[in-house]
Structure 1
Amino acid sequence: MKVGILSDSHGDYRCIDMALSHKDAQGVELWLFAGDIAMDADYLAMVTDKEVIKVAGNNDWPGGRLPDYETADIAGHTILLTHGHLFGVAFGLDKLAQAAIDVGADIAIYGHTHMAVDTVLDDVRILNPGSIARPRDARNGSFMVMDLTADKSPCVKLLRV
């Protein structure tokens, strides 16, 4: 299954449109949105007509509308999706990896830092697509596309707009 991963769009629909028009985003069947700004995930769902699983970020207030994290079973993998601020991701990924282990996830996806990450910690694949609109690690925004197949490691591509 081809899964798109976006985070930290901060109201910039133009960047979302750029991601959607990227050749590697064609055929995405499901989108994961790791917070900041939740209304952008609604826009993404509207323009793609695909399911979007979304969580609240630290700028998605007033709260109560979205959960701080979600778990999803997708193509033989369990994914923990969060914005990351409540797990202290700006100071390390240990708490996030442990949270993933606690819910039985083999993949953890977060945002918040606006910097792309693809690493493995304690047998958990940890991904951050960076910010599609306000990157701190490059000039252009980024997102990820992940191909998931049961019993295989995810194939993940970091893409720039």
Structure 2
Amino acid sequence: MKIGIVSDSHGSYQAIDSMLAHKEAQGVALWLFAGDIAMDADYLAMVTDKEVIRVAGNNDWPGGHLPDYETADIAGHTILLTHGHLFGVNFGLNNLQQAALAVGADIAVYGHTHVAVQEIIDNVLIVNPGSVARPRDAANGSFMVMDLQPGKSPLVKLIRI
């Protein structure tokens, strides 16, 4: 199953549209939205007609209607989705990795830092798609696509738009 991963769009529908126009976004069956800004996840769901699993970011407070984290079982994998700010991701990924293990997840997805990451810590794949609209690690925004198959390691690709 091909899933898309996006974060930190910060109100830029233009960035979301550019992401969706990219050839790698074609065939995505499900989107994971790791926060900042909740309305953007609604827009993504509307224009793609795909399920969007979403969480609140630090800019979605107060009064947000989204949870701080979600778990999802997809194609034989369990994913912990969060924005990351509550796990201190600016200072390291150990808290996030421990939270993933606590819920039985083999994949943790986060945002917040606007910097793309893909690494494995103690059998947990941790990914951050960077920011689709305001990257801090490159000139162009980014998102990820992940191919998930039961019994196989996830295949992750970072895409710059």
Q: What range is the shorter-chain TM-score in?
A: over 0.9
| Partner AA of 2:7 in structure 1 | S
**Offset at 1:34?**
0.1
Alignment of 1:1-161 (within 5 A): 1-161=1-161
1:49-79, Cα deviation, whole Å (9 max, x unpaired): 0000000000002234110000000000000
Counterpart Cα distance in 1 of 2:12 and 2:151: 36
**Offset at 1:28?**
0.2
Q: TM-score scaled by structure 1?
A: 0.99
Which runs of 4 or more aligned residues in structure 1 lie more than 3 Å from their structure 2 counterparts after TM superposition? none
Counterpart Cα distance in 2 of 1:67 and 1:44: 18
Counterpart Cα distance in 1 of 2:58 and 2:83: 8
Counterpart Cα distance in 1 of 2:59 and 2:148: 30
CA RMSD of aligned residues (A): 0.5
Q: Calculate percent identity across the aligned residue pairs.
A: 78
**Offset at 1:29?**
0.3
1:15-35, Cα deviation, whole Å (9 max, x unpaired): 000100100110000000000
Task: For structure 1, list consecutive stretches of 5 or more residues without a partner in the other structure.
Answer: none
Counterpart Cα distance in 1 of 2:121 and 2:8: 23
**Offset at 1:122?**
1.3
| Partner AA of 1:22 in structure 2 | H
Counterpart Cα distance in 1 of 2:71 and 2:84: 14
| Partner AA of 2:68 in structure 1 | D
Counterpart Cα distance in 1 of 2:19 and 2:65: 26
Counterpart Cα distance in 2 of 1:153 and 1:137: 26
| Partner AA of 1:119 in structure 2 | E
| Partner AA of 1:87 in structure 2 | F
Secondary structure in 1 matching 2:111: coil
Counterpart Cα distance in 1 of 2:148 and 2:76: 8
Counterpart Cα distance in 1 of 2:5 and 2:63: 22
The size of the alignment, in residue pairs, is 161
